[in-house]
Amino acid sequence: MQFFSTRNAGSRVSAAQAIVQGLSSEGGLFVPESFPQADLKTACEKASYAELAAYVLGLVLPGYPQEFVAEATEKTYGEAFQGKAGYLRPVNKDLYSLELWHGPTCAFKDYALQIMPKLLVKGKELLGRSELTYILVATSGDTGKAALAGYQDVPGVKIAVFYPSHGTSQVQRLQMTTQQGDNVAVYAVKGNFDDAQTGVKKVFADQELGRQLAEQNVCLSSANSINWGRLAPQIVYYFAAYRQLLEQGRIQMGDAVDFCVPTGNFGDILAGYYAKRMGLPVGRLVCASNRNNVLTEFLKTGHYDARRTFYRTTSPSMDILVSSNLERLLYHMCEDTEKVSGWMEELRTQGHYQVDAQCLEKIQEIFSAGCTDDEQAAEEISAMFQGNQYLCDPHTAVAFRVAQEYKNETSSGAPMVVLSTASPFKFPGDVLKALGQPVPEDEFEAMRQLAAHTNVPAPQALASLQGQPERFDREIEPEQIREIAKIL
């Protein structure tokens, strides 16, 4: 199995090349030429998350030695995840929370970004590459810290992270600006996430800059979900959720399970689609958006329109108007790189595009969508805690709200698994306010009060940020990302 670009099917690369390169030369995203089929019984009999990950990743990372994959997953998904890798928690009768925030940075990005550096280093070895890899990352909040933590002091790698100034919680910002390591850098970008992401994508598409860096023996790569190495590990936890439902006796082998995913860049939910294509009995994939509801509108109408007001919300990791991974889904639906290239060019030049009726019909056979504003998300946080003794963050609350609206509107009796993507203590002020409590100005005092009010301990990885010196305080314009990429 090889990979090719969503905008050029003629250029085939290996899994290692797709991960090392990150983005194709013309700006497209790498997709697999086919989908390997998992043996569901074999997958669900794996004794641990690490063993399950080794099995699934072994299928989607052809060319990587199986012994390496097994060792990498064992080292990644052990102690750092506190024994709760892929932990599925029942919430009520048909509703479950897949808690993906028990890793070292308290967000679901850890599942990919703790193993991705190992995949990159091994990929370079497999390709006989020895150049310096310079990783550029645009983040809406959680990816940045997870990438910094994963790549800290990895030999042969430098990493620069770009986040929207005033677009993250204080805790998210401090996670990045206090990061240690000799090979890391962090920059606040004036504007929103889309400005940062566009700036990074322009660097990857800049062929002259690529030649200049190559002369210095430097290669650009990405740790965003545009990279196959970010997306592939996220497929695993869909299988993990299914396995646990089997173990709990909630389903029988072959029964369908619905998933509701809070998403902005469409990567986390796309991983669920890939799991489905690999044979996991996924029923509906429900896309949950916040007030920036461009994906909701698209999945209902086929019209993608980024020409709209950008809102800063209490779920900042979803504050995105240009969802990069949707491009992959478009290719899988139409299997026409020229069509995808045309739509992406329309988005770049006109700010919108409309897919054809056949493509939309295929999408709607699999995906549903809904959106929730900040007030409704706050109501959901309160209702979840009061009614189910379950504490969740604003992103997860958005998904719970949309999931329950979906279940109320349909007759599906399938279990609904909500992907819980971040610890509530990353957003302590917003969660505390939603619970009807006074909110102190300082987020760390809010963290302490939230723990006291709910009797839920704050993760030490977050509480220990208080008082740590900030290493990075530079604010830049989006256009300066290119200049930074030139300076090593």
Residues labelled as active-site residues? 109
Beta strands in 200-315 (DSSP E): 218-222, 257-262, 282-289, 303-305
Identify the sign of the CA torsion 331, 337, 339, 344: positive
Tokens of 437: 């409590």
Q: Are strands 352-354 and 303-305 parallel, antiparallel or unpaired?
A: antiparallel
SS3 label, residue 17: helix
User: Taking a C-beta distance cutoff of 8 angstroms, is the pair 158, 135 a contact?
Assistant: yes
CA distance 315 to 262: 9
Residue 460: CB atoms within 10 A of its CB come to 9
SS3 label, residue 427: coil
Q: How far, CA to CA in Å, does 14 sit from each of 30, 227, 425?
A: 10, 13, 40
**183 φ, ψ (degrees, to nearest 5):** -110, 20
- Whose tokens are 């199995």? That residue is 1
CA distance 28 to 152: 28
**73 φ, ψ (degrees, to nearest 5):** -70, -35
CA distance 379 to 288: 16
| Residue 262 C-alpha from the chain's centroid | 10
CA distance 418 to 99: 9
CA distance 401 to 411: 17
Number of residues written out for the chain: 488
Outline where 393-437 has alpha helix (H).
394-409, 428-434
User: Taking a C-beta distance cutoff of 8 angstroms, is the pair 323, 345 a contact?
Assistant: no
Contacts of 190 (CB under 8 A, 6+ apart): 165, 475, 476, 477, 478
Outline where 365-479 has alpha helix (H).
374-388, 394-409, 428-434, 443-454, 460-463
Tokens of 418: 């909500």
- Whose tokens are 């090979």? That residue is 183
Q: Are strands 257-262 and 475-476 parallel, antiparallel or unpaired?
A: unpaired
Tokens of 215: 């002369």
End-to-end CA distance of the chain: 35
